[in-house]
Amino acid sequence: MSEFKLTTVEEFEAATERLLETGAKVGADSWQLRVKNQTPHCKFGESGVCCRICSMGPCRITKKAPRGICGCDVHGIVGRNYLRFTAGGSATHSDHGREIAHTLHEAAADGNYKVKDPEKLLRLAAEFGVETEGRDIYDVAHEVAEAGLMEYGKPFGYQVFTKRAPEHTQEIWDREEIRPRAIDREVSCALHMTHMGCSSKPEALIRQSLRAGLSDGWGGSMMGTEFSDVLFGTPREVETEANLGVMVAENVNIVVHGHDPSLSEMICEYADSKEMIDYAKSMGAQGITVSGVCCTSNEVAMRRGIPMAGNFLQQENVVLTGACEAIVVDVQCIFPALGPLSKCFHTKFITTSPVAQMPDSDFIRFNAKTAGENAKQIVKMAIENFKNRKPELVHIPDMKQKAVVGYSVEQIEKKLDGVTNTHVDETGTMMPLVDCVKAGVLRGAVAMVGCNNPKVRPDAAHIELMKKLIANDIILVVSGCSAQAAAKAGLMDKRAKDLCGAGLKRVCELVDIPPVLHMGSCVDISRMMVLAARIAKDSGWNISQIPLVGCAPEWMSEKAVSIGNYVVGTGIDTYLGVEPYAYGSEEVDGLLKGGLTDWVEACYTVEHDIDKLGDMMIERIEEKRTALGI
């Protein structure tokens, strides 16, 4: 085995430079160029003080004009903008969850979609109060899917999954009136509250931001995760690879991008069939390589070991290799730039969802009933496009790392069971982990998530922070584009244990895990909530007492703010490397960065200096340890 060495951000950047040269040759635009055109950004927008929710405006708050035409002050405007931002994220994640519920509703023994994890389905049935005794598994699946769909619009009651949280957390949610009701209601309520002439009190707006966030994390996202596991299998440890070097010059390259695994699962299935491989060979290729970008990639990597070509800010690079026959997208985080960019190459840009329709793309409308045919058509299109490659433009950076992924809560438990066979029961236990934390072998954990953002040197914040934390015996659970940054660097190679402090290194060896655990896509941050709840229950600590913090150093999307709100709302301090559009109001900013602690025992910290951000997290973890007397 070759010697283990991390890939550096400088190496990533050199590869990108080389690809941009190809881009320049064909007259391609790039995000790097567009960032230049958009800089400096509008300060009113950035600080959150511009209101355009009625046509008397837009109103921008300045010293000279401290109130909008309706009389709203800066705190009301910033608070409303923050809540709307959250609602956008919550709606997006939750609608993804809803799509998966519909897919589950379509599942059939002889259909495109089957139940792959019946055990999980039965556990969910019990939570939703669905009868299982003596019933066909597909009848159960359909009723569970319906129960899940009801969570979106039920007139009374709260999100069922909130009962998974420890008592103490649930008490806080009830006390603060933020236990989420129907998901759609929380999103609608957010839009209602922010309509002209409704709420302008920061406390009310931020409280609803937490509740809308919680309806995502403990509602829509959690359903997205759980139902995906039922349909496609709960992730188990699996080997894969990451970075652009996973694309293979001799093969037909299909890149899946977006978030919903329903389509990409089907594409992987067909691309792997003898019929399609033979067809690819008949067209002069040696085979078919499916790789991924963003969270669709995380989904199929976690369940099938499909390699990860890259994360958010690498999506254009995939096309710039000149070796991408098709980039197939579903929803979210897809650059509209891929349309014009693909036209500079032979690449087919295939959109598939009515939710994400873009110019300059081939639209193949995908749905659960026709999934098989759709996937086959797409794979064929890619194969038939192989001959259109321009060989002089083909350059795939020779850069990839091995990664072990697939750390669902169930897999983590199983790993821990392997270490101590003392307290194993059927539901598993987090005790070995808690014991390591108590003993100080592990100082604590950081849940690192989120995107890339050109405001931060791409991937550098993720990777530098991870290196620093593991060297300090802090284990990482990661998801989304943060996970892909880790994998590309090599931090998910089990040999990365050598970069850890002595304590974490020992844990990695004993449990046989890498120091950075891939927990999945962004909806799978719900897995982290379940993990925190389990640790709290097993340790007897409140979630806010666990030496655990959240971190999104390069976040960019509305979804990320929704996530932030449910992570903080669950009692986990969260560290950001990019400011939310809220600093224009001292009151809103003060609430987010401190005041929230009085409500939910956690708040945000924002720091642009990444090294300092790391120090602050370590300090917070140590404070929590001291408070616990460990």
Kindly list the residues in this chain that would bind ligand XCC in the complex (CB under 6 A): 259, 294-295, 312, 333, 450-451, 480-481, 521-522, 557, 559-560
Do the annotations mark residue 344 as ligand-binding?
Answer: no
71 or 155, CB closer to ligand SF4? 71
480 or 571, CB closer to ligand XCC? 480
- 487 near 403, Cβ under 8 Å? yes
Question: E strands along 35-78, which residues?
Answer: 50-51, 59-60
218 or 270, CB closer to ligand XCC? 218
Tell the smallest beta-carbon distance from residue 187 to ligand SF4 (Å). Answer: 20
Residue 192 CA to residue 211 CA, distance in Å, equals: 14
Alpha carbon 250 to its chain's center: 31
Residue 266 CA to residue 613 CA, distance in Å, equals: 41
Do the annotations mark residue 259 as ligand-binding?
Answer: yes
Tell the smallest beta-carbon distance from residue 294 to ligand XCC (Å). Answer: 4
Q: Going by C-beta distance under 8 Å and a sequence separation of 6 or more, which residues neighbour residue 569?
A: 173, 178, 210, 211, 213, 214, 217, 600, 602
| 312, interface contact from ligand SF4, ligand XCC, none, CB < 5-8 Å by kind | ligand XCC
Helix (DSSP H) and strand (DSSP E) numbers for the chain: 26, 16
| 56, interface contact from ligand SF4, ligand XCC, none, CB < 5-8 Å by kind | ligand SF4
Tell the smallest beta-carbon distance from residue 335 to ligand XCC (Å). Answer: 10
Q: What is the dihedral of CA 527, 532, 536, 537, to 10 degrees?
A: 0
Compute the residue count for the chain.
Answer: 630
- 421 near 413, Cβ under 8 Å? no
84 or 257, CB closer to ligand SF4? 84
Tell the smallest beta-carbon distance from residue 311 to ligand XCC (Å). Answer: 6
Do β-strands 59-60 and 288-293 pair in parallel, antiparallel, or remain unpaired?
unpaired
What token pair was written down for 588?
A: 């809103």
74 or 230, CB closer to ligand SF4? 74
| 439, interface contact from ligand XCC, ligand SF4, none, CB < 5-8 Å by kind | none
Tell the smallest beta-carbon distance from residue 200 to ligand SF4 (Å). Answer: 9
| 70, interface contact from ligand XCC, ligand SF4, none, CB < 5-8 Å by kind | ligand SF4
88 or 584, CB closer to ligand XCC? 88
68 or 219, CB closer to ligand SF4? 68
| 217, interface contact from ligand XCC, ligand SF4, none, CB < 5-8 Å by kind | none
| 59, interface contact from ligand XCC, ligand SF4, none, CB < 5-8 Å by kind | ligand SF4
Tell the smallest beta-carbon distance from residue 615 to ligand XCC (Å). Answer: 24
| 295, interface contact from ligand SF4, ligand XCC, none, CB < 5-8 Å by kind | ligand XCC
Do the annotations mark residue 508 as ligand-binding?
Answer: no
Do the annotations mark residue 608 as ligand-binding?
Answer: no
Query: Distance of CA 503 to CAs 5, 62, 622, 625, Å?
Result: 21, 52, 15, 16
DSSP 478: E
CB count in 10 Å sphere of residue 185:
18
Do the annotations mark residue 451 as ligand-binding?
Answer: yes
Tell the smallest beta-carbon distance from residue 617 to ligand XCC (Å). Answer: 19
Tell the smallest beta-carbon distance from residue 60 to ligand SF4 (Å). Answer: 9
72 or 246, CB closer to ligand SF4? 72
Burial class from Cβ neighbours inside 10 Å (0-12, 13-18, 19+) for residue 40 reads: exposed
| 333, interface contact from ligand XCC, ligand SF4, none, CB < 5-8 Å by kind | ligand XCC
18 or 67, CB closer to ligand SF4? 67
| 283, interface contact from ligand XCC, ligand SF4, none, CB < 5-8 Å by kind | none
Query: Distance of CA 229 to CAs 268, 318, 346, 613, Å?
Result: 16, 28, 35, 34
Question: Mapping DSSP to helix (H, G, I), strand (E, B) and coil, where does residue 502 land?
Answer: helix
Tell the smallest beta-carbon distance from residue 310 to ligand XCC (Å). Answer: 11
Tell the smallest beta-carbon distance from residue 49 to ligand SF4 (Å). Answer: 10
Question: What's the per-residue H, E or C state across 135-153?
Answer: CCHHHHHHHHHHHHHHHHH
Helix (H) or strand (E) holding 461: helix 460-471
| 224, interface contact from ligand SF4, ligand XCC, none, CB < 5-8 Å by kind | none
| 522, interface contact from ligand SF4, ligand XCC, none, CB < 5-8 Å by kind | ligand XCC
Tell the smallest beta-carbon distance from residue 81 to ligand SF4 (Å). Answer: 10
Residue 96 CA to residue 94 CA, distance in Å, equals: 5
**Residue type at position 510:** L
Residue 402 CA to residue 407 CA, distance in Å, equals: 16
Residue 583 CA to residue 139 CA, distance in Å, equals: 51
Residue 286 CA to residue 329 CA, distance in Å, equals: 24
Residue 342 CA to residue 361 CA, distance in Å, equals: 9
Do the annotations mark residue 500 as ligand-binding?
Answer: no
| 557, interface contact from ligand SF4, ligand XCC, none, CB < 5-8 Å by kind | ligand XCC
- Residues forming contacts to ligand SF4 in the complex (CB under 6 A) are 51-54, 56-59, 68-70, 72, 77, 196
Residue 543 CA to residue 548 CA, distance in Å, equals: 8
Tell the smallest beta-carbon distance from residue 89 to ligand XCC (Å). Answer: 9
Do β-strands 401-405 and 238-242 pair in parallel, antiparallel, or remain unpaired?
antiparallel
293 or 375, CB closer to ligand XCC? 293
Alpha carbon 448 to its chain's center: 10
User: Alpha helices, DSSP H only, in 218-337?
Assistant: 221-232, 261-271, 274-282, 294-304, 315-320
135 or 195, CB closer to ligand SF4? 195
477 or 522, CB closer to ligand XCC? 522
Do the annotations mark residue 294 as ligand-binding?
Answer: no
- 81 near 48, Cβ under 8 Å? yes
Place of tokens 């709260």: 158
What are the binding residues for [4Fe-4S] cluster? 42, 50-51, 54, 59, 70
- Known binding-site positions for [Ni-4Fe-4S] cluster: 259, 295, 333, 451, 481, 522
Binding-site residues, in ranges, read 42, 50-51, 54, 59, 70, 259, 295, 333, 451, 481, 522
